[in-house]
Amino acid sequence: MTMAVATQVLRSEWTKIRSVQSTGWTLALALVVTVALSMLLSALSKKEYGDMSPREKLEFDPTLISFAGIGLGQLALIVFGVLVVSNEYSTGMIRTSLAAVPQRMTFLASKITVATLLALVAGLVISFASFYAGQAMLGEHKASIGDSGVLRAMIGSALYMTLITMFAMGVTAMLRSPMVSLGILMPFFFLISNILGNVPATEKVGRYLPDQAGSRIMQVVRTDDDAPYGPWGGLAIMAAWVAVALIGGALALKKRDA
């Protein structure tokens, strides 16, 4: 396939995503929800700081607190990833799209590339907005972008949000249905992962789940937990999950009828 054709496919996918209003709204919702919740939790943390024990003060992580809203904001990013892939299946336009671009891997790669770039831009905006808004609420307890590990956490949180979107796209490419995809992804990230990560009997398994491992990149202050990986190691584990999901989606698209 020539570069000109590949560029045309990318432009086509950009037009599809831009023309669906719900995809843009989900990214805007991710920004509003994440920043608002981060500000609220940062303000509460500032209020409670005086009542913390010496150990809690030692482990106080103002940077991580300012990203507390990402846990809820990622809901909108998951929905965005699901919609990007499933919209054509829902409308029946997938047959037309594959007739126009018979190279299925090129079709899927272009869709994922455009959506990933959008998610990355949105992630960077959300990350920096959440950080500065959260630090404003923390007052004298705030961190500075020049502090050790803070910039890494800010960029890492954007990468985390991008990877969560890509994971949702890979799962949806395998399942095709938006309802089934959301019915699996939402409980997985908002219920199953939290349970496995916080129950002593399963916490060693839970720490290798994509969100549990990937969120380590947002942590600046070290704690006494015994996780065998650091911030970038956790993000690498998450990236491995994403790779498996995308490969599964590609194989499903290649083998199944439209």
Asked if the structure places residue 3 within a domain, the reply is no
pLDDT tens digits for range 54-104: 888 888 999 999 999 998 899 999 999 999 998 888 777 778 877 777 788
10 Å Cβ neighbour count for 91?
10
pLDDT at residue number 257? 64
**Collapsing DSSP states into helix, strand and coil, what is residue 177?**
coil
Helices 70-91, 150-175: inter-axial angle, 10-degree rounding: 30
Asked if the structure places residue 63 within a domain, the reply is yes
Report the number of distinct structural domains present in the chain: 1
Distance CA 89, CA 196 (A): 33
- pTM of this structure: 0.92
Residues of the chain with pLDDT under 70: 1-5, 257-258
Q: Which residues of 215-232 are buried (b: 16+ CB within 10 A; e: fewer)?
A: bbbbbbeeeeeebeeebe
pLDDT at residue number 132? 96
Within 101-149, residue ranges assigned H as helices are 104-138
Distance CA 126, CA 120 (A): 10
10 Å Cβ neighbour count for 256?
10
Asked if the structure places residue 206 within a domain, the reply is yes
Amino acid symbol at 93: M
Asked if the structure places residue 2 within a domain, the reply is no
pLDDT at residue number 5? 65
pLDDT at residue number 1? 52
Asked if the structure places residue 34 within a domain, the reply is yes
pLDDT at residue number 28? 92
Q: What is the span of the domain harbouring residue 37?
A: 10-255
CA 161 → CA 119, 122, 145, 200, distances in Å? 7, 9, 20, 27
Among 163, 164, 165, 170, smallest CA distance to 250 is for 170
pLDDT at residue number 258? 56
pLDDT at residue number 161? 97
Asked if the structure places residue 1 within a domain, the reply is no
CA 77 → CA 88, 115, 210, 222, distances in Å? 18, 11, 15, 28
pLDDT tens digits for range 39-59: 999 999 999 988 888 888 888
Burial class (CB in 10 A: 0-12, 13-18, 19+), 167: buried
Asked if the structure places residue 75 within a domain, the reply is yes
